[in-house]
Every structure is written in structure tokens, then in C-alpha cells.
Amino acid sequence: MEKILLPDINNFHQLEVYKEQGGFSAAKKAFGQTPDEIIDSVKKSGLRGRGGAAFSAGLKWSFMPKTTDLPKYLCVNGDESEPGSFKDRQIFEFNPHQLIEGTLITCYAIGAKVAYIYIRGEYHKWIKLMQKALDDAYEHGYIGEKMKSTFGTDFYCDIFIHKGAGAYICGEESSLMNSLEGQRGYPRVKPPFPAQNGLWGNPTTINNVETIANVPKIIEKGWEWFAAIGEPKHPGTILFGVSGHVNKPGVYELPSGTLLTEIIYKYAGGVPGGKKILCVIPGGSSMPPLRGDKLEGVKMDAESLKEVGSAIGTGGIMVMDEDTDLVKVLARITKFYHHESCGQCTPCREGTGWMEKVLNRILDGNGSTSDLDLLISIANNIDGNTICALGEAAAWPVRYTIERFRDYFEKRVNKQITLPVKNKVHSMRKTSFPIADITK
């Protein structure tokens, strides 16, 4: 299988090597076509966003208004703050020029003259590597006004790196735009959507790093070639970041639709000590988990995972063996989302904290069976009631982990816990009853 994003070529991150392998020829080819032709090719290729939502990239590009005098912008989302996700930084490090070329083609297709690559604040190393690649490309005339003579075109654009401040919420597209504008990272109410009202009130398109990096190969080899790779409804290769209890954690580029068990056992080397798998989160910490005894036949693509009650997300596969303390894992995930909630929406701001407290109560041995139902109730009240998807990101792990591992959690609660009953009369002041005996 040909690797699209992480080819096995020494020093591919260097501009000269990239050019020797045909780099920037796709951009030259694209500039000879009309923007509509490029958008149509990307649509037909079936390229879907690799940042979590798996939305059609070409369709998103087509939302940009064509008859406006307002400046247009492209934001390349490299915030990558989802726990369990670490694939975008591989592109920054090993294939930055393909990302740059994809950015140029995308800007041409949507009519943008400026692109921002937004990189999470903790990625100091990768920010420096990406900036070096940008500087080299500018120096050799592949970005900026020098593009006119390099490519023989009237089109040119500029690309800037914007360093985030380490806030998970800025991975949400409207928060990312607020951050770029120098404002607090608060999600915006939609509509209006970014294509109508984005950066500084102007039309804006936001795509993930991995999504944009696929574009040059689609233009170079044709949409039919890309559409034939992997699953028809979610074609192309995907960067799977495998972590947790595996012998060979890492990033593996494989066709969409590859069996989850094949990724774990063939590519990631299986589970240390030959232990059984208790749980797998297939797309980063916010995605619904899968039971270890229900992994057979599960394919890693958007539609297949939807059928088994989960989602592809960022492709971050988190493997947990039979000795994992799932309550601890869930409590840690919940603590993260509580900490990263921007606080704008009451259900998320308050609910994430409540879920963390209840899970810690269970960890301390003071949880009851009713606490499990309480957690599901809180999660249900967060889900769908917030401006952005952080609410779902916090609610789904709690709800689905408890529902799918109810037997596991039942063993961890204390069935002897008693609660004090509110005083009805003076004589009952110090009375308490087992929870099971209390009826509503």
C-alpha cells in the first residue's frame, strides 16, 4: 500500500528532498484549473475531515461565498489536544511541505489570500519544525508573492503559524477563530457559520492538518485513485495513533476500514503479556468505548464505527488490558474535560464537575449503585445542551462506559452505603437507612 501522508522516504521533511519526489507539482497543476474544478475533484474523492467530525472536505469548501469582496481565510487546525491523539505532529515533523502545498491548493480553491496554521501551545518542538519548513518555502518562492514567478500564476497567498496557549477548547473551530483574533477561547453560537462569518467577520474555512495534507495527492493522482482506497464511504488512508497497553505504540498509516484487531495485533504488536483486552477507545478519549470482548469484525472507518455505537474521531486508538482500573480511567478523563470546559454553558460547566466528584466518590469506596444512574443522568443532561461539542466529549465517555461496563462498575460500588435521612421529627435526628430501603 502506498503511504499518502507518511511515506518511507529519508529526510522527506527537507524541501529539496520533497521537490525531488515531485513536491509542489500538484500545486502547479491545480493553478492551471479553476477553483470549482478543484473543489469538485475533492468532493468526488470522498475526502472527509480527519479532525473528528468526518465531514466532506469538498462540500465544506463549497460553502465559501463566491460573490463577495470580503477577504477570505483558511485556518488549518493543528491544535490536537484530544487525549489519545498524536498524529498531526507526525505531519509537522516528517511531511511539512505536503501540508504547505495542500494549504496553497486549498487557498486557491476557496479564494483565500491568507492561511493560519493553528498549533497547540505545548507543541514547542513541532512549532519550530513547521516554522523552519515555512521559512524554507518562502525563501524558495513557494509561498507569498514570489509564487507568481515560481508557478507562473497571478495567485499568491501567505501562511502564518499561530501558537495556541494550551486550551483544549480551541480545537473547536469557532474558539480557534476567537483565539486567533486575540479573544478568549469561547465557542460561538451557530449560525452564522464560519463560511459566512468567520475571522474578523469574514468568510473562513477550517480544516484539520491531516485533511489538508491529503489534498496534493488527490490533485496529482486524481480523485478516482483516492476514492478507490479503503472504504467507499470514507476513502483514503488514515493515521491511527495507537497507545495504551500495546507492545508497539505509534502512528500507523493504513487504509480506512482496516480491522481494529488487525491494527492492535498485527501492527501494534498485541497486548503485553498476552493479556485480554478489557476496553478500547477507538478515536480519542471523547469517543464511546468498545468492550474488549466485542472487537471482532470492527472496522476503522466512520460508517463502520457508527454501526457499533462509536465514532472514528481523531483515530486515536487507546487500548486497555484486563488489569486496567476503568473507574480510574474514567475519572481521569472526566477530570480533563472538567478542567478544559470554558464555562460558557451551564450544563457543561457544572455537569463536568459533578461527574468528577461522583466518580471520585466511587474511587474512594463511598459510591452507591444510585451514583451510576446519577452519572448517566448528568451526562444525558449535558449531551446536546451546549454551544459546542465539548459537552458531548465529556458526556459520552461517562454514559457509554457505565452503560457498556455496568457489571464492572457494579462491583466497584459499596452496596452497604447509607445516607442520612432529613429530620422529620426530633426523634429521628440521628437516623440513617440503607439506600436500597429508601423509596422515592
Rounded to whole angstroms, how far apart are CA atoms 214 and 205?
Answer: 16
Instruction: Band the pLDDT of 415: cuts 50, 70, 90.
Output: confident
CATH number at residue 252: 3.10.20.600
What's the structural domain count of the chain?
3
Q: Is the pLDDT of residue 297 over 80?
A: yes
Q: Name the packing angle between helices 96-110 and 124-139 (round to 10°).
A: 70
419 part of a folded domain: no
**Which amino acid is located at 42 in the chain?**
V
Q: Is the pLDDT of residue 440 over 90?
A: no
Structural domain of 365: 326-412
10 part of a folded domain: no
The answer for residues whose C-beta is within 8 angstroms of residue 133's C-beta and 6 or more apart is 13, 15, 96, 97, 100
Question: Is residue 104 located within the same domain as residue 217?
Answer: yes
391 part of a folded domain: yes
Question: Is residue 242 located within the same domain as residue 139?
Answer: no
**Which amino acid is located at 232 in the chain?**
P
Question: Is residue 60 located within the same domain as residue 149?
Answer: yes
Question: Is residue 83 located within the same domain as residue 159?
Answer: yes
Please count the other Cβ atoms lying within 10 Å of the Cβ belonging to residue 405: 20
Question: Is residue 216 located within the same domain as residue 330?
Answer: no
Q: Which of 228, 244, 267 is the last residue of a domain?
A: 228
394 part of a folded domain: yes
Q: Is the pLDDT of residue 226 over 70?
A: yes
Question: Is residue 101 located within the same domain as residue 180?
Answer: yes
Instruction: Band the pLDDT of 29: cuts 50, 70, 90.
Output: very high
7 part of a folded domain: no
Mean per-residue pLDDT over the chain, rounded: 94
Per-residue burial over 83-101, b if 16 or more Cβ lie within 10 Å, else e, is: bbbbbbbbbbbbbbbbbbb
429 part of a folded domain: no
Instruction: Band the pLDDT of 416: cuts 50, 70, 90.
Output: confident
Instruction: Band the pLDDT of 419: cuts 50, 70, 90.
Output: low
| pLDDT value of residue 432 | 61
Question: Is residue 239 located within the same domain as residue 381?
Answer: no
Question: Is residue 104 located within the same domain as residue 202?
Answer: yes
Alpha helices in 111-235 (DSSP H): 124-139, 147-151, 173-180, 209-221, 223-227
Question: Is residue 146 located within the same domain as residue 261?
Answer: no
Question: Is residue 134 located within the same domain as residue 178?
Answer: yes
Question: Is residue 26 located within the same domain as residue 172?
Answer: yes
CATH number at residue 364: 1.20.1440.230
Instruction: Band the pLDDT of 426: cuts 50, 70, 90.
Output: low
CA 343 to chain CA centroid, Å, is 21
| pLDDT value of residue 438 | 55
CATH number at residue 116: 3.40.50.11540
Q: What is the mean pLDDT of residues 167-173?
A: 95
Question: Is residue 28 located within the same domain as residue 151?
Answer: yes
The grid coordinates listed for 277 are: 483486552
436 part of a folded domain: no
Rounded to whole angstroms, how far apart are CA atoms 88 and 18?
Answer: 18
Q: Can you spell out the DSSP letters for 72-103?
A: -EEEEEE---STT---HHHHHHH-HHHHHHHH
217 part of a folded domain: yes
